[in-house]
Structure 1
């Protein structure tokens, strides 16, 4: 009798592991920005791709300006040289429309350090030193631009305090334990409108346990969660934070 119960438990556990593997494989293709939290348990990560600071009192800092311009040093780890084109293209998405540019690091103590990861992840704002941006195999240009914007100081759009007018969170579709990733944060919106199409907005199925939406927009917006371009509002946020005007 005990052996039967144990066998059933092993089967249930095995099925659970198989389902988790299938979901992980799915996210490797569709939503690589949440993989780092799902797989990497050596780093404290929230909202799928935001690396927690070890200093609870840390304040989000901008990268330094010089004569109204910001040039952020970067380094690309030798183990992800195949991602160089995607990384440079992501930087261009930011630099071609703003006063923020990027240059290869020489001796600067603070710089963005693109390194190998399971998914895509970054700190929010400049934290100092060799600041890691994890870039996994499935992280494409748009995903990397998303992480660069985090590193420049921007949070996810869906965590804005005024989001209830624009989206509805569906708790029963969210993976168990991941509900925390759908909270709200009190932050500077620069009085800009909520942007469903922001490159910093979650997609409708992020952290879905059922395959059904975890976020539903109040008005139909098929481009919610797009990772192809920075919107006009994304660009304006960078202008406002870094005084580009």
Structure 2
């Protein structure tokens, strides 16, 4: 369920994240089975749409970032360790890696293979009926990103769920959304209406973006095949089908994590030198 960011941090029904993986693919296109393996004893999360809710309390964007759910920055970069389950085929792993690498090209986020001794990292897994979901922002310890093989392992979905893990929520719930869209609650499945509730957000000085990879499509969770979201500027406008991050999605990452975008080439050269 990957509605095609506006920024903010908040909040679907699974099982544990699989048994221990046998191999992991790093960002050099080589597989290895000699890397340490994380323990996978996780609790089943409560899911709201495609966002996993911690069993402590709900968090909104501003409060969450202030309390430390942003990933820490070290020098030029924000390093985010990752681990990919070998349950994915090599083709599927390549799609996930391409999604990770896309952040390297346009932001200061750097995804690095998980190593033992690292507490906080993201773990990509798949199970039958696990769906597509992620936590919002950095959690303490291992945090899963579910990419079910049947429908979730595609480039835009990978970017979407990674953006959740970096601390971003869906576009249509941002604080100023009522200026741009009408939420047609009468057409929304009752059990899914929470996915459309407006929440306080830090919009990072970026405009509302119908082209965001984080925007729901206009018929999301419809109970009667009628639109659930309508653009005020044009009721016939189609949206929510982004194939990749928009310029605003990228700008929000860079602003939240204070990336020096004028030094993008410097980032790339520095990263190449380290690898």
SS across alignment from 1:78:
coil
Task: Report the CA distance between 1:80 and its aligned residue.
Answer: 2.3
Question: C-alpha distance in 2, partners of 1:216/1:135?
Answer: 28
Question: C-alpha distance in 1, partners of 2:86/2:203?
Answer: 37
Of 192, 205, 213, which residue of structure 2 is paired with 1:178? 192
Whether 1:122 and 2:134 are equivalent positions in the alignment is: yes
Task: Report the CA distance between 1:40 and its aligned residue.
Answer: 4.2
Q: Which residue of 2 aligns with 1:55?
A: 56
Q: Which residue of 2 aligns with 1:133?
A: 145
- Seen in structure 2, the aligned counterparts of structure 1 residues 74 and 81 have a Cα distance that, compared at 3 Å, is farther
SS across alignment from 1:142:
helix
Over residues 32-60 of structure 1, what are the superposed CA-to-partner deviations in whole Å (9 max), with x where a residue is unaligned? 569xx3x54953111x1010011116634
Structure number with higher relative contact order (C-alpha < 8 Å, ≥ 6 residues apart): 2
For normalisation by structure 2, the TM-score amounts to 0.71
The answer to whether the 8 Å contact 1:32/1:119 transfers is: no
For normalisation by structure 1, the TM-score amounts to 0.80
Whether 1:78 and 2:86 are equivalent positions in the alignment is: yes
Over residues 135-168 of structure 1, what are the superposed CA-to-partner deviations in whole Å (9 max), with x where a residue is unaligned? 1121111011100000001111111111011111
List runs of 5+ in structure 1 lacking aligned partners. Answer: 1-30
Q: Which moved more, 1:176-185 or 1:218-227?
A: 218-227
Q: Which residue of 2 aligns with 1:87?
A: 96
Q: Which moved more, 1:198-207 or 1:52-61?
A: 52-61
Of 144, 167, 170, which residue of structure 2 is paired with 1:156? 170
Over residues 148-194 of structure 1, what are the superposed CA-to-partner deviations in whole Å (9 max), with x where a residue is unaligned? 00000111111111101111111121112211111011021112111
Q: Tell me the number of residue pairs that the alignment of Structure 1 and Structure 2 aligns.
A: 211
Q: Which residue of 2 aligns with 1:190?
A: 204
The answer to whether the 8 Å contact 1:123/1:151 transfers is: yes
Task: Report the CA distance between 1:240 and its aligned residue.
Answer: 0.5
The answer to whether the 8 Å contact 2:3/2:217 transfers is: no
Whether 1:237 and 2:237 are equivalent positions in the alignment is: no
Q: Which moved more, 1:159-168 or 1:52-61?
A: 52-61
Task: Report the CA distance between 1:110 and its aligned residue.
Answer: 0.9
SS across alignment from 1:134:
strand
List runs of 5+ in structure 2 lacking aligned partners. Answer: 5-11, 16-43, 261-275
